[in-house]
Structures are given as C-alpha cells and as structure tokens.
Amino acid sequence: MLFKNRILQLSLAKRLYSVHSEIRQKTIHDLMAKYHAQKPISMVTAYDFITSTWANRANADIILVGDSLSMCSLGYASTTDLPLDEFQYHVKSICRAEGTSFIVADMPYGSFESSIEKGISTAVSLMKCSSRVNAVKLEVGSQKNDYALELASELCRRGIPVMGHIGLTPQRVHAMGGYKVQGSKSISDVMAIYLRAKELQDVGCFSLVLECVPHQIAKNITSKLHIPTIGIGAGPNTSGQVLVMSDLLGMTSGKVPKFVNKYSNIGELAVSGIANYIEEVNTASFPKIGQHTFTVNSEVLQEFIKELSSYG
C-alpha cells in the first residue's frame, strides 16, 4: 500500500511538473521568425514580479529588465547609481512571473567597464540569476575603439546572447553632454552609428536597440541589417518598439519623453484609490460588518466574554 501511494505521489509530481513546463518562453528563433515575417516585435521594461506578470499577461514578446528601474522604481537620480547586487535582486523577482516573454537583462553601469574579465563575470552572473534570463543587453558607444564592442564580441563568442544598444546610451550621458538625439547633426555622427550597428551584428549580437535616433536614419540602418532593431524614440520603421513601463502606464508624475505614448494613468488612479481608502478609514465607513468581517460561533463568543469578565 505504501509503495502504491509513493507511485501515485511521483505520478502527480510528474504531472504537475509537466503542466508547468508547458509554458514555453519565446526564444531567439521565435523573435527571428517574427522579424523575417515582418511582424513588429514588442518589448517593455519590468521592475518586479507584479510588473513582469502584467507584461507576460499582455503577451509582450520581450521583457527588458532595464537599468531604468534605478530611477523609475528605486528612486535613484540616475541609472549610473544602481548597484549590481540590487539589480540582480530585481532580475530574480521578474523571472518568478510565469509567461512566455523572452527576458533580457541590462548590464548595469560599473559592472563591466573595468575589464573584459569583469564584464564576462557580470554577464554570467546575470544569466545565472534564473534559467529564464535569455540574454543580456549592452550599451555600446559609436566612437572608434569602443571597449564595449570588444566585450560584446567576447560574450557572443562564449555563447551568451547579446542585445546591443546604440544611439543614445544613457550610461554614457556625461560623455555625450546630456540626453540628446544622436545622429542628427553631421554625416560623421550618422555613419558612426551605422558602422557600429554593422559591427555589433558582425560580432554576433542577435538584436539592437536604437535609442533617440532620427526616424529616417533608423529606417535606413534597419534596412541594411539582417537582425532586428528595437526602437525607442527611433520612429515606426524599426523591427520593433520598446518603452519604459512607468512611462507608458503613467505610473509616476512628471513629464514623459517626447517619444512616449501614455496608455494609462496608473499613478493618478493609485493615488485616488488610496485617498478613498483613507477617507473611509477616517469616517469609520470601512470596514463594514458583514461585508468585510468574519464571524465566530456564538457559544465560543459567550464563553470568551465570560472568560474576559474574570480578568476584571
């Protein structure tokens, strides 16, 4: 009998495991299939288990664990303030949400610049945060002899999928002189971005983010590549689009960038909901007996009251 029960337990465990494994994440192959079919690829950032669950339920092709969470979720002044260990905490949280979205983790500022060995170690540590991390994203400048290009090549050589990021690279905002459109002033700037895109493709990157690049330039760069481009502030003619979740949902107050379309106003809805709760607490209209409460057996209640009386 004990043997039969053990067999049943193992059978149920196997069944539960099989059900769980049916939720298959998208792969690079799936993304490339959309790209070759000329179907736009959707990418959105996430910060934690809840926002990752939202993105998965909305069927986002890609979830980017962006270092933008530094400002949008953690209250830092810049992406450059984000420590690697704090970022990894959020990567793990995001990966706990079930769903099919392909997950890409940023390489945070300060986690790879000191050496190729350090960069490889960081990338490996991010991939090991969870088996659901599918790739890393690396910001790469367009200047000659850029170190990050060499790192991208070394990561790809080691079988670590890399999404390159060119154009406006926020981690280099001080070197760039601020958050500015890239490739709009001179042919040399435009060609530098294009050549860097080609180089990242050639070293093995499976996709590129183009940020804050004139839409005509982004369109022409996209047409010359054979890997998908994901645009943010780069117009409609890239292979896909990415937005920061707090921007598109209106989760925080303040002005959003020009390239953002706000699809909701969660911040205002949240404040309104909390204010309504506080008002009902202050007026003693919440909680309501019967609607929000539980009952106890009347005999137990009477015994409890009787016991209380003995305590004076």
Phi-psi sector, 62: left (phi>0), alpha (psi -120 to 50), beta: beta
Contacts of 112 (CB under 8 A, 6+ apart): 118, 119, 122, 123, 138, 148, 151
199 is known as an active-site residue: no
Looking at 86, 199, 211, 299, which residue is catalytic?
211
Which residues are catalytic, by number?
Answer: 211
